Structure 1
Amino acid sequence: MSLHEYKRKRNFGRTREPAPEDSARGGRAIFVVQLHHASRRHFDFRLQVGDALRSWAVPKGPSYDPKVKRLAVEVEDHPVSYADFEGDIDEGYGKGHVDLFDKGVWATRGDAEAQLAKGHLEFELFGERLKGRWHLVRSGRKERQPAWFLIKVDDAYAGEVEADDLLDATMRESTRRAAKTPATRAAASRSTARRKATPTTRRVSAASLAKAAAALGGAREARASGDFFPPQLARLRETPPQGDAWLHEVKWDGYRIVAAVADGATHLWSRNGLPWNDRVPEIVQAIDALGLDSARLDGELIALDSEGRSDFNALQRTLSGEAHAPLVYMVFDLPYLQGHDLSRVPLIERKALLARMLAHAPAHLNLSSHTVGHGDDVFAMAMAQKLEGIVAKRVDGGYRGGRGDDWQKIKRLESDEFAVVGYTPAKGSRLSFGSLLLARPDPDGGWTYAGRVGTGFTDAMLRELGDTLAKGGSKTPTVRIDAVDTMLRGALWVPPTVVAEVYYRGIGNKDLLRQPSLRTLRMDKSPDDLRDSDRDAPKATRKRTAANKATAKKATKPSPRATGKPAAERRTGHAPVPAADPDTVVITHPDRKVFPADGLTKQDVVDYYKAVMAWLLPGIHDRPTSTIRCPGGIDSPCFFQKHVMAGLDHVGVARLKEETGATADYLYPRDAAGVIELVQFGAVEFHPWGSHVDDADRADRVVFDLDPGDGVAWARVVAAARMTRGFLAELGLTSFVRTTGGKGLHVVVPLRPGAGWKEVKAFARGFADALAEAHPLEFVATAAKRLRKDRIYVDYLRNGRGATAVASYSLRSRPGAPVAVPLRWEELGKVRSGAAFDIHSVPKRLARLKKDPWDGIDTLRQDLAAVNRKLAGK
C-alpha cells in the first residue's frame, strides 16, 4: 500500500498530522475510529493492513444494528501513527477537530488484502466501544471515490445502538461546538437521549459455579489473587501411557497462557510470568464475559487459519502485526474458581466443572476436550490429522506448578531444531533452491552436518528464502561432515545464522535425519540457543548434545566491547570472523531510486555510507540497532527492522529478551560490511539502542529529543538546547548536541559507568518534567499533540530498554536526504535547522573537520547514581 496520496494532500510544515515516516509500530494489527468535525461531520474508520491504515469515511458512524447498512467512502491510506492523532487540523485538507472515538486490535479469518480486493471483508473488532463481528462490502455503484457498506453481524453484541449513543461528554461537547447544520444538531440531540446498550452473552451464573466448586471433594476455600501462578508442565515420552487412569488431549501448537481473575478483573500471564493483557484483548474480553469474581485458568493461545485449524506461524505473525488471524484460548484446566482452591480436586472433576463453565462462553474461549483411556487410538488420530501430538494426564491428578510425571506429552514425530548452514541448487520446476542443509552443535564449539530438508516449504517461503538466505555462499563446507552424502555435490555453504525446526522419523545409520520435513523457521531463536536446548529433546539428540554444555558457555561468552572500532566477533556461537571488506557486498538494483524527488539511487546511498563509515560506525557497532528499510524507495512503504532476517552474512546477532518473555535475535552492525549489507537490504536509517549487546540491560547514553511543535521558531529550539545543557551542567553532567535530520535537536548525555534502564528512564522523565514545570511556556513533557502547539516537547521516551534514537550520520528517509549530524556546542548558532545537513553536504563537512565534534564522548566518566544521590540529598 502506498501513502503517496496522503503525503500529496498535506503540507507537513503546517499540519499537525503525523508524517508517514513516523508510522512504524510493533505488535498486533490495530483499528481506530476517529470522530472528525470537518466541513461535514463524519467518523473515520481505519484498519491496519501491513504498514498502513486502510481508511473509510463513515458519515453516520458505525451502527450495532445488523439491519443498517452504513455508507463507508474509501479514502487514502493513512500512516499507522495516525491512530494516535487527536486535535485540530487548522487549515487545508480535512480542516476541523479530530477526537479519538475507539481503538483496539482486529482479526479476520483469511487474507485481509485478498478479501478487500474481492470487495468483502468479514472481521472482528476488540475495542472499548466497538466489539464483535462486522462486514465491509463494496458497493456496485460507480462513485468518484469507492463506496462500501459497513454492516454489523448479528452476534451477541448486536443491538439498536448507534455511534452517537457511545459518545462521551468530551466528544459530545466537540459535536455541539462543531454543529453547523440541523442534521448534525439533531444527531447530537439524539445522542444525549439514548442510553448505551451493554451487549450480554448467555452464561452459567457465577453463584451456581461457586456452589458446584464448593461441592467437589478436595476443594478448599481460599482468597483470590490476580498474580501469576506457575503452570503445570509435561515430560516428553515416546508412547502414550495405557489404561483408563489417563485422559488424553490434543497438544495444541501455540503459546501457553495462564489467566487469573480477581475482583472481577482478568489478568493474563505468559508461561514465564509476563503480563499479556495488552497483547490479546479479545481473550481478556472473553473471560470478562463469563462474569466471574475469581478464577484461575490454564490453556494454550492458538491462531486459526482460514479452515479453522491451529496455525503456529499465523499466531506468530498475528502477534507481530503481520497477519490478522482469529485467536482462541484453548482452556484445559481450572485450578481455582469462585473462592475455592481446586488444585487437590481430581483432574476429571475439574474438567467437568470447566466444561460447564464454558458451555456458553464467547467464541474466543474453547474447552480442550479429552478422551479417557484409548491412548494409542487418540495418538493415531492425532497423526492422521497431522496434529503436533497429544498430552496424557492422570485422571485423578491434582494441579502442581512445574514439571512432573502426571502430565506426559507424546509428539506426532520427533522434532528438533537445527542451524541452517547452506543449500543445494534448485532443479526442475523447483523455486530458488532444492533443500536446506542442517547442522547440530559440536562438543568443540563448531557444527556437524545433520542432513537436508527439502519438504514442508510453501511457495512464498521458497521465494523469500531464495531472495535472502539462498544466495551466494561458498563451495567449501563451513561444518564438519562425518557422513557421505552424494547430494552435496554443488551445495553452497553459509555461516549458521538461522534456526529451522524440522520433523523427522529417527536418526539413520549415517547419523543423518530420516525423512525430515520443515515445521517452521524459528526467527525467535539463534544458533546459540541450540547449545542448551536439549531439555525436552528426543533421546538421540540429548545424547549427542550432552557433551556440549561446557563448551557452550565458552562459545557464547561475549567478547569485550571494542572502543571506537568494529566488534571482533559475532555472537552466533561459531568461531570469530574477521571484519569483512564492504566492497565484497554485492549491490543489486543499484539504479533503483531511493529518494525519487531528489534523483538519488541505491548506489548513491551506498556511496554515502562508505564515505562516512569511519564516523558512523563508532555510534552503532555492537549496539542492537533498528533500521528503517525502504526497499521500494521512500515513497513506498517503509518499516522498522530490528530482528535478524535470513540472508545476512556480515551482521552481528544478539540474543536478547523481549517484553513477552521470549528471546529474539536482534541485529547489530559489527563492521563496515554489515552496514553496507543492511543498505543492500533496503536500510536507509540506523537507530541504535543506548546500550551494547554485551550489556544490554545497562544504558550508557541518555537522549533528550527536543521536538518543536507548530509555531516554534528554530532560534527557540537552539535556545532550548542550550538551556537543557545548562541544567544538566548544574547536575554535573556534560552533554553533546546533534541535529536530527528532522525538526529538532538531540541533547545526549554519556554515562560511564552505565546505569540500569529503570534508573535511566526515571531520571530522564524527572528531568523532562522539571524542565516543563520550570518553563511551562517553553517546554512540555507529555506526548499529546494538542498540548505541543507553540512549545517544545522534551521526549524522554527514547531512554527505555529497546527504545532507539537515530544514529549520528544516519540518513533520514525524507525528501532531500537529510542527515543527523553531531555538532560542537559553539557552532550550534550557525546551523539554520534540524535538517541543515544532507547527503551531499555531510561528506564535505567531514573532509574539513580536524577533530570529532563529539571527541571524548566514549571516555568521559559520568555516574548517574552519583547524580541521583546528590538530588536525594545524600
Structure 2
Amino acid sequence: MPRSPRRDNMSLRAYVVGTAKFFYYDLGPSLLGAFLNRVVRPAVTKRMTGHDVVVARDIYQRIRGIRDVKTLRVRSPWDLSIRRNHVFREGEAIDLPDVDRPIQTKYSIQLHNAERAKRHFDLRIQLGGRAVSWAIPMKGFRSALLRLNRPGERWLAIRQPDHVLSFMEFEGEIKEGRGKGHVALVDSGICDVFKIKNGEVHVRLYGAMKGDYVLVPTKESGLIISKAVPPGEPWSKPRYTRKKEEALDGFDETGRVVENKIDGASAKLVVGEHGNRIFSHRVSKRTGHLIEYTDKMPHLRDLKVAAPPGTEVIGEVFHPQGVNFTAGVLNSSIERSRALQREYGPLKYAIFNMRKLGGVSTDNLSYGERKQECAKLVDSPLLVVPSSADKNFSDFYQRVITGKRIPSDGVVVKALDEVYGEAPWWKIKPSDTVDCVVVGVEPGTDGKYLHSLGALKIQCPDGSQVNVGSGFKDWERQWIWDHRHEILGETAKVNFHVRHGKTTNTGPVFADWHPDKSEVALKMYSDILGVSPYQLKSSAGWKPK
C-alpha cells in the first residue's frame, strides 16, 4: 500500500504510477506542461517501464484543472475509498467499494473472439479511473447481444482483471497474451451506476443495450441479470375550456382560484422508493408505452421528495429560457440533454395537481385539498407550485402575462370544490389573430387523424412559415384533407401567443377562414349542410355554428 505522498517529485511519481489506473488529478490546461516537465517526464525517461508509460498516458488524457501544481485533489469519495484500500497492479481486479448514490459514467461492450476463452462479450464500466470488466459468454448465438436486455435474462458474467480506460474503445487484433484474438466494439455510451453493495453492481445503460442490469458476484463466477422496468400507467392531460381575456371582467371569484399556467411540457412525476420517474402523456411509437423523461433529468430522478413512495403528481417540466428550450432538452438524447442542463441550468418541475398519495387515489378530494397536499411536497428549488390568487383575478392576470421570471402560458381558473375530472378548467391566455396564407397541407400520421388532416402549413405576414395542427374539429379536418388541393393560397385566421405585449409565431391555433379574403368556409359549410353555396351566401344573418 503506498504511503501518503510527500511534495517531492519521486514520491509524487510513485503515487501517480502506483495508482494511475483509478486515480484522477485535476490540472488546468495551462499547467499541464509544467506538471509533466517538473514531475512526470524525468521519471518516465529514467525508470518507468513500457506499461507505466501507457498508464501515465491514460492519466494525462484525464487531467482537468487544479490551480496549484503542488495541490492534488481526488475527484470523488469513491476514488478516495479505492486509494486508501487498494494499489493497482496489472492483471488484478480490485474489490469494489460500496456506493449508495448514483454516479454517471461510461461503459462499452466489446465482442472478443479470443483463442483461449472463445467468443464472448466484454462489458466494461468506467469506475474510479479504471475499466472494471466482466466477460459474458455468448451462449452459442451470434445475435446473443440482442437477447441480453430482455427482462429476466440471466447470463454468466465472469469478473476480469481491470483495464486501462483507453482499452474501452479499443478495436483490432491482440497479437499475444491471454486475450489474443480479435476485438470489435459493439456498443458504448453513458450509464448510471446506482448502487454497489458487497460487489453487487446496479447499473442502467443508455446505448443500444439500454436497460437496467444487476451484476451479481457468486462463489464461482457471477451473473448479469436484466431487470424488468414496468411501464408508466396511462394518464391524460387536464381538460381546459378556452376563455377570452374579457371573461375576467366582472368574473364571479367566489369559491375559485386563479393560477399561473406555466409554459412547459406536461409530465407526471411518480415518487419511488429508489428514485422518482417522470412520464409524458404521449405514447412512444417504438415501444407502445408512455414516453419517459426520467433519465434526462437525473436531478429530479434522485431528488428526495417529501412524500411516501407511490405518490403521483401532475405538473409541467419547464426552464426559465422558455418552452422551446424545454422541448429541445426533452427531445435530445440523454447525453445531450444532460449536457444542455449542465451548461444552462436544470429543468424544474411545477406541481399543480395530485392523483395519488402513497399509492392511494386522491381523486375523491376537492381541488383545494389536493392543492394543499401538493404544497407540502415543495422543499427544493427544483420543485415549485404555480403562483395563485383567490381575488382580483384581472390584476393577477396582468402580472402573470407581463412577468419574465417564469415562462407563462396565461392563467387557469379552477373551482376549489372540484373533484378530479369533474369539470374542465378555464384557461385564459393572451393571443392575437393574424391573417395567414395556406402554403401546404400535412397528412395525419396515426390514430384518428390517419387519412385526415395533420396540420396546415401557413405563411405569416413576416414571411415565416409554421404548422397549425390544433383548433380543427374532426369533420373540418376530413373536409380540408379531401379538398387539400383547392385550399392552397387561401387565407386563414390563426391565433398566436402574445408574450410581453408582442405577438409571436408560437402556439398557433386555427380560428377560421377569413370571410372577406376566402370562400373556403362558404364551400365547406355548404358541403356539410348539403345546400348550395348561393343559398348560404344569400341567407341574411346566417352564421356558422
Question: What is the TM-score with the length of structure 2 in the denominator?
Answer: 0.43
Question: What is the TM-score with the length of structure 1 in the denominator?
Answer: 0.28
Larger strand fraction of residues: 2
Give the structure with higher Rg (CA).
2
